[in-house]
Structure 1
Amino acid sequence: MAPSPDNQPSRFRRLLGAVGRVAALPVRGAGYLVRSGQAHQHFFLPVLNGALGDQLAARHDPRAIQLSFRRAGRDVPVAELALSEPRQKTVVFIHGLMGDELIWQTGFQDGPGSRRYGPRLAEDARVRTLYLRYNTGLHLSENGRALHALLSELVATYPEAIGELVLIGHSMGGLIIRSAGHYASRSYELGIMSYELANVPDSTTHNSKLTTHNSSWLPHLRSVFMLGTPNDGSWLEQNSHFTERLLNRINVFPTRFLSRALNKRSNGIKDLRQAILVDEDWQDAHATDLLPPRTEVPPLPGVAYHVLLGSWLRTTLPTAVREYFGDGLVGTGSARGSVFGAEAKLPSGTTVRSAVFAQQHHGGLLNHPEVYQYLKLHL
C-alpha cells in the first residue's frame, strides 16, 4: 500500500531541511576545526622547531626543544625516570620531522579508547616504554650525537634496570638512530682503546678515567625498527634543493627571492636530501652540490634491523612510479636503504628484514594493525 501523501513531508519542508543542513555546515566545520586545533595544539612547538629549529637554537630561544625523555607532557631528566624493574627489555620511541612523543600513544581521529603502539606494547609485550622528543630542525648528526649521549646516560644511571634495548624510529627518527649508532661506535672503540692503553704498565700518557665502554648502550642494543625512514634521502627534499638552485641560477629578483625563501628551511630538513648522518658531510665545502659527499654509515654488528615501509599508490600504476613515491613522502628504494641491501656486506651477526604494507601512507605507518602485529612479533 502506497504511503499517504499526508504522511510525506512536503517539498517545501524537504527544501527547508536541506537549506538548514547546508547553512549548518560552516558551524559544524568551525566546531571540527576548533576541536582539531585543541587536540593538535601540542604540535605547535614541534612544527615550529621542524621548520626553524636550528635558528631558534642558535639564538637560545626558549621555544627551541631540548632532546629529552618525556612523561605526562614534560621533559624528564634521566635521573628522575626511576627505573626499578631489573633487566627489563626497554623500548625507546623516536618520532620523525615535526612530530612529538604523543604520536606513539594516541591520535585525534583514532577510535574511542584506542591506543597506539607504545601503550599497547607496554601491556601486551610486558616491555618498558620510553618516549623521546627532540628538535627536528637541527642537523641529523647533532641529534644523533645527543641521542647517543642520552642513551649512554640511561645505561650508566640504571645499569641493573636496562636489559635488552630496542629502538623504534619513524621517518627522520630512524636516521637519528643510525647517526647515534655511528657516534656510539666511535665512542665505544675509543673507550676500549683508552682502557687498553690505560692498563699498559708504566703508562703515564693515558688516564683510566677515559674508559667509557662499560657504560655504552651498544651491548644492550638488540633491535632497530625503522618505519618509513628515508635511508637514502627524501625525493621531496631533493626536488626542493634542485628547485632552489635552479631559481638562484636564473638570477632575477623574483627567482632570487623565491630561492632565498626556500633556503630558509631548517638544517634538519636539508639533511634529509641525502640522509646526512655525520658532521663532516654537512660541514664540507661541497655540501650544497647536487651530488654532495656522503659518508656511508653501515649497520651495527649483532643488531636485527627491521625496515617497514608503506606503498601508497594503487597497484595498477607502473612499478617505477609506485616505488619512486613510496608511501607518499619516502620512496621505496630509499626506505629499503642501499646499506641494508647487500647481505654479504652486513657486519657479523647483523640481520635485516623488511616488510611492505600496501595502500599505506607515511603517517598511516604510525597506527596500523599489521604494523603493530609485526612490532609485537619481532620485539
Structure 2
Amino acid sequence: MPRIHSAFRMPRLPDRAAVGQSAGTGWIDDLRGALRLGVDAALGVTDVVEHLHESIRSVRAPISTAGKTKTNGITGFVYRNVRSVMHGVGFGIDGVLRPLNGLLPGSKDHDTRNLLVAIINGIHGDHLEATGNPLAIPMTLRVEGQQIDVRSPVASLTQSLGRAPRSKLIVLIHGLCMNDGQWRRNGYSHADRFRTEVAADVLHLHYNSGRHIHDNGAALAVLLDSLISNWNDAPPDLVLIGHSMGGLVARSACAQSAESRWLRQVTQMIVLGSPHHGAPLERGGFHLDQILGLSPYLSPFAKIGKTRSAGIQDLRHGRILPGDPRPVPLPSHIPCFAMAARLDPVDHERANQFIGDGLVPLASALGDHPDPAWQLGIPAARRQIMRDRGHLELLWDEQVGATLVRWLVHEKVRRRA
C-alpha cells in the first residue's frame, strides 16, 4: 500500500507536555461558545434555505443575475419567526451558562480541546471575534503553554523559566488552524534545539488564525512593542520564525511597524512554507464561489463557501496589508531566510509548480514571482528546499531543525565578525 504523505494527514494532537491549560476559559465557556456557534450556523442554514426557496419560487433562468434572497408574505413571516426563536434560544442558554463558569471543574483533556478550538478559529475566527464568542483565541506569547505578561516580561519569564531570560528570544508563530503545541512531535521540538544549541529562549505566539493577517500582524507588533518597551535592562535580540500563515503574520507585523523599537531588535526572520504569493486551494475556493454565483439556484450554496474566515481568504494572494494585494518588500535591515518543502523527492517541474509541499508551491514559499515587483529577492544562501517532505513536517522534522540551527548560529557569528 502506498505511503500516505503527512501533508495529507489530519494534524496530530500535540504532545501532552506541549500545552498547558488555555488561559481564561473553562469548559462552561467552551460549551457557551460551541452553542452560540451552533445557533449562528442554524441561522446561516435558514438564510440559505430561504434564499433557495425564493429562487425556486421566482422560477428564473438557470444562468442569471440573482434576485431577492428573502421571501414575502406568510412564508417570510415563518422564516422571520424561526430566526427569532433561534436568537432567543441562544441568548437564553448563554444567560444560564455564563454564571456557572468557574464554579465547575475544568476539562483535563487540554490537548484535544486546544486542537479543536484552533481549527474552529482558523475556519471561523473572524466571526467568533465579531460576535464575542468565548471560543475566540486572544493573542498571547507563551512559554510551554503558559502565558507571558508582556507588561513585566523579565519577571514573568524568570518565573516561567526558573532563571533569568537570555539575551536572544526566538518567537515561533504557528499557521492556520494550528496552535503553539503543534511544534512538538514524538518528544522532539525545534524549540528544545534552540535552547541547547543556540543558547536562546523560545516564545510561542498563540493567536486566532481566522482573523485578517494584517489584523494579527498589527496585534503582534503591539505585543512585541510592549515586550521590548517593558524590558528592565538591555532588551534581547529577537528572531521571528513563522510557519505557513505565521510567516505572513511576521512579515505583516514588520511592515506595519516602521521605526518601532521592537523592530530594531529583530536580527533574523525565517519563514517556513509560507504562501507569499498565495495558495492554490484558496484560489480554487474563490473561483468555485464565483461559478456558483452564476446560477440563482446555486448561489445560495455559495454563501456556505463564503463563510470561510478572513484569514483563509487572505491566503488567496498572500495579502498581508489592508486593501488590494500589492507588493510588500521584506524589511531591508533584517536578514530573511525561506524554507520550502516538496513532496516529490526528485526534480519535477509540474509537481513543484502546482503541488509543492501539498499546500504551497515552491515559488510561493520561496518568494519567487515572474513579475520583478513581486519578487522577495531572498538570496540563494538563505534558502533551503526540503525534499520528500510535506507542509506540516516543517514544524517538527529534525533535518529542518538542523538547518534552522545552522542559520541561527551562522548569522550570530556573522554579526559578531
TM-score, normalization by structure 1:
0.72
Amino acid of the structure 2 residue aligned with 1:57:
E
CA distance 1:341–1:126, change in 2 (3 Å)? farther
| Aligned residue in 2 for 1:223 | 268
Name the SS of the counterpart of 1:294 in structure 2: coil
| Aligned residue in 1 for 2:343 | 312
1:244 has 2:277 as partner: no
Amino acid of the structure 2 residue aligned with 1:378:
W
Q: CA RMSD, aligned part only?
A: 2.9
Superposed counterparts of 1:38-77, under 5 Å: 39-77=111-149
Q: Residue 76 of structure 1: CA displacement? A: 3.1
Q: Residue 79 of structure 1: CA displacement? A: 2.9
CA contact (8 A) 1:151 1:217 kept: yes
> Structure 1: which 5+ runs fail to align?
1-31, 189-212, 282-292
What is the CA deviation profile of residues 215-272 of structure 1, one whole-angstrom value per residue up to 9, with x for unaligned ones?
x1111111111110000001110111011111111x132x223311110100000000
Superposed counterparts of 1:1-379, under 5 Å: 39-81=111-153, 82=155, 83=157, 85=164, 88-104=167-183, 106-107=184-185, 110=186, 114-158=187-231, 160=233, 162-185=235-258, 188=259, 213=260, 216-249=261-294, 251-253=295-297, 255-279=298-322, 281=323, 293-315=324-346, 318-338=348-368, 353-379=382-408
Partners of 1:76 and 1:323 lie apart in 2 by 41
Name the SS of the counterpart of 1:145 in structure 2: helix
Partners of 1:126 and 1:47 lie apart in 2 by 33
Name the SS of the counterpart of 1:78 in structure 2: coil
Q: Residue 351 of structure 1: CA displacement? A: 8.9
What is the CA deviation profile of residues 4-53 of structure 1, one whole-angstrom value per residue up to 9, with x for unaligned ones?
xxxxxxxxxxxxxxxxxxxxxxxxxxxx99x9998543211111111111
CA distance 1:326–1:300, change in 2 (3 Å)? same
CA distance 1:360–1:57, change in 2 (3 Å)? same
Name the SS of the counterpart of 1:365 in structure 2: helix
Structure with bigger RCO (C-alpha 8 Å, 6+ apart)? 2
TM-score, normalization by structure 2:
0.65
What is the CA deviation profile of residues 193-234 of structure 1, one whole-angstrom value per residue up to 9, with x for unaligned ones?
xxxxxxxxxxxxxxxxxxxx4xx1111111111110000001
Name the SS of the counterpart of 1:79 in structure 2: coil
Partners of 1:332 and 1:163 lie apart in 2 by 33
Partners of 1:276 and 1:150 lie apart in 2 by 21
CA distance 1:121–1:239, change in 2 (3 Å)? same
Name the SS of the counterpart of 1:299 in structure 2: coil
CA distance 1:314–1:295, change in 2 (3 Å)? same
CA contact (8 A) 1:51 1:266 kept: yes
What is the CA deviation profile of residues 62-106 of structure 1, one whole-angstrom value per residue up to 9, with x for unaligned ones?
2111111124534332135424647601100100001111122x2
CA contact (8 A) 2:166 2:200 kept: no
Q: Residue 341 of structure 1: CA displacement? A: 9.5
Amino acid of the structure 1 residue aligned with 2:181:
L
What is the CA deviation profile of residues 161-219 of structure 1, one whole-angstrom value per residue up to 9, with x for unaligned ones?
5322100000000000010011111xx2xxxxxxxxxxxxxxxxxxxxxxxx4xx1111
Partners of 1:235 and 1:181 lie apart in 2 by 25
Q: Residue 117 of structure 1: CA displacement? A: 0.6
Partners of 2:168 and 2:240 lie apart in 1 by 11
CA contact (8 A) 2:152 2:230 kept: no
> Structure 2: which 5+ runs fail to align?
1-11, 17-108, 159-163, 409-417
Partners of 2:144 and 2:238 lie apart in 1 by 22
Query: Which has the greater radius of gyration?
Result: 1
- Structure 1 stretch 121-130 or stretch 219-228: which is displaced more? 121-130
Aligned-residue identity in percent: 29
Partners of 1:100 and 1:340 lie apart in 2 by 34
CA contact (8 A) 1:302 1:350 kept: no
Amino acid of the structure 1 residue aligned with 2:266:
L
Count, aligned residues:
296
Name the SS of the counterpart of 1:144 in structure 2: helix
Partners of 1:118 and 1:234 lie apart in 2 by 27
Name the SS of the counterpart of 1:231 in structure 2: coil
Partners of 2:391 and 2:205 lie apart in 1 by 20
